[in-house]
Amino acid sequence: MRAAYSFDNDDPAAELRHDLLAEILDPFTFDRLRALGDLTGLRCLEAGAGGGSVARWLAERGGRVLATDLNPRHIPQNQGYAVRRHDLTTDPIPEPPWDLIHARLVLAHLHDQNRILVRLADALAPGGILVVEDWLSAYPDVVLAAPDAAAAELVERYHRILVNQLLPANGADPAWAGRAHAALLAAGFDEVTTEIRAGSWAGGTAGARLIAVNVAQVGAGLRAAGMTEAELERLCRLADDPALVVRSHFTYSTMGCRR
């Protein structure tokens, strides 16, 4: 049985989440994909397309793109790419072979990543490229600056509950990104490379604002773990307070070529 995804696309806050994630992650993703050279005519599968920003970028550069998601309601239509509902864990990979498959913030939320990587490898054309990108969020001590000690401890506590309890309870593995490189090698990929990016998120920026979106989407779990309404309300205020600065999650971008 599939575990419940923590950040359901049917949730009212999901659209804002996709917008914030695109603002945070697209520059790094586009740097990685741009390094592949000319994309004109390449068959590109954007798996777990979310809000569609990467699919649109690939299509604008001449890729023939299929954007898939378990719940594709937030992928805009008529943007130069096709859209399809698809379950990466159970459905056959659609319309192989692909020249490029990209999956961002997807595999860390799924079980049996190794099996999925083999299926993705089998769906690539010879010489095809797989790019998987995930957050390594399993590290504590995220607060770089805070308006006071109580605010710092509140944010650290929120992070511990989210990463150590709520995400794993819903099937996610906050440490998966650190194993992705070895997993691609084990799945038979060549020329595997990993680049890692991190930075700081001040209150009011997209990264810090994710705190308030998380409260909206997994607030029930935070409450069940003992957080009070007053604490959740302060977390939301801190998300917009420039006096709070948190370290971003480590974004691991791992790329391999099919033999």
pLDDT confidence tier of residue 259, bands split at 50, 70 and 90: confident
Q: Please state the rounded mean pLDDT for residues 17-30.
A: 98
What pLDDT, on a 0 to 100 scale, did the predictor assign at position 254? 98
Q: With respect to residue 6, please indicate whether it lies within any of the assigned structural domains.
A: no
Range of the domain at 237: 12-258
Please give the pLDDT value at position 4.
60
**Per-residue confidence (pLDDT) for residue 1, from 0 to 100:** 38
What is the structure's pLDDT at 3?
A: 47
Q: What is the pLDDT of residue 172?
A: 95
The reply to whether 119 falls in a domain is yes
Q: How confident is the model over 185-210, as pLDDT tens digits? A: 999 999 999 999 999 999 999 999 99
7 domain residue, yes or no: no
pLDDT of residue 253: 98
CATH number at residue 42: 3.40.50.150
3 domain residue, yes or no: no
Cβ neighbours, 10 Å, residue 10 = 8
Number of domains in the chain: 1
Q: From edge to edge, which strands make up the β-sheet containing 124-136?
A: 82-85, 64-69, 43-47, 98-104, 124-136, 250-258, 189-197
4 occurs within a structural domain: no
In a domain? residue 1? no
Q: Report d(CA 50, CA 73) in Å as an integer.
A: 9
Mean pLDDT taken over the chain:
96
Token pair in block for residue 167 = 């995400």
Token pair of 42 as six digits: 């390449």
- Would the pLDDT of 8 be above 90? no
pLDDT tens for each residue of 223-246: 999 999 999 999 999 999 999 999
Its pTM stands at 0.96
